[in-house]
Amino acid sequence: MEKRQLGRSGLRVSRMALGTMTWGSDTDADEAASQLVAFVDAGGTLVDTADVYGDGEGERILGSLLADVVPRDDVVLATKAVARRSDGPFGGGASRGALLSALDGSLRRLGVDHVDLWQLHAWDGNVPLEETLSALDFAVNAGKVRYVGVSNYSGWQLATVAGGRGTNPIVSAEMEYSLVQRGVEREVLPAARYHGIGLLPWAPLGRGVLTGKYRNGTPADSRGASPAYAGYVEKHRTDRAARIVQAVLTAADGLGTSPLCVALAWVRDRPGVVAPVVGARDTGQLTGSLATEEISLPPAIKSALDDVSAVELGYPERWPG
C-alpha cells in the first residue's frame, strides 16, 4: 500500500487507515484479529482507535493483538482522548490533568509505553488553549506520544490550535469527509493545508450509504438496522445523497468495480487528504475496501462526482465574489 507523509511531519503512514470504532462492541477479539492481519498483510500501517471505543475495550483488544498477532513496530498506533466534562478534581474535558490521565489509561489498556499519534477528540472551550497545548507538549516531551493531532474541530478551532503556543506542531485533523459530507471544504481543509496538517477522513463511505446498500431499504444485517447506529446512518439517507449514490453506482458500473471502491478512491485522492479511516463489520468488508488500492479514478469521473456532490461556497469562503 502506498505511503504518505502526515502533514509536514516526518511520519509516513499508509494511505488507508484501519478504524476500530466497533471493536469491543459489535466486533469481538477474533474478528478484530482477522481484520488487523488482513490490513497489515496488505501493507496498511495506520490503525486508529479511541479511549471511548467499546468503553475502552477497543484499546484493550488492540493492545492484546499487538502483543500476540501483529508486531507493535509494524503499525502506526493512533488513539484519541475525548474531552468529556466531569465532576472530578480536574474538571474533565481538555484540562491538563484530565488529558494526561486519559493518556495514561490508553497506554495501560494498549499495553504500550507510547502511541505514535495522539489526537484530541473534540474542542473544549471551557479550558484555556495554553493549558491544553501544555498537556500535548508534556506528553511528547515525556516520550509517551510521538505526534499530536485533533479531531472534529471547526476551521477557526483548527487554525487557533495550529497557531497556538505549543512547541509540538499539530500534524493531523480527523474529520468526517465523503461525497455526501463535504463540509470540511469550506474552512477546515483550507486551514489544514495552510498549516501543513494532514486530513484523516472518518466515515469516508458516508456511514455506509455510498456503498449503495440502502437504496432499496435497510438490510437486516446493516448498521442502519441496529438501534445503536440507525440514527448515525439515517443522517445521510437524503434525496441529495440518493443522487450522489446513483452517480457512484454509474461510475462503478463503467469502471467494472464496486461503489465502495469508487467512493473511497474519490476521498482518498482529494487534495490535503492523507488516509481515509475505514471501519468494517467483518474481514470480508475490509477486503473490499483494501481493493481500492488498485483503483485510480479517471479525471472525467472525478469531475462528474465533484459536480453532483458539490457544496455551496460563497461569502466569506470566496472573496471577492
Q: Which residues are the active-site residues? A: 53
Q: How far apart are CA 177 and CA 277, in angstroms?
A: 10
**Closest listed residue to residue 311, CA positions, set 246, 257, 240, 253:** 240
DSSP states of 59-75 = HHHHHHHHHHTS-GGGS
Pairing of strands 3-5, 12-14: antiparallel
**Closest listed residue to residue 65, CA positions, set 40, 93, 90, 98:** 40
What is residue 104's three-state secondary structure? helix
The residue whose grid cell reads 493512533 is: 78
What is residue 231's three-state secondary structure? helix
- Taking each helix axis from N to C end, the angle separating 239-255 and 259-268, rounded to the nearest 10 degrees, works out to 100
What is residue 30's three-state secondary structure? helix
Q: How far apart are CA 208 and CA 201, in angstroms?
A: 14
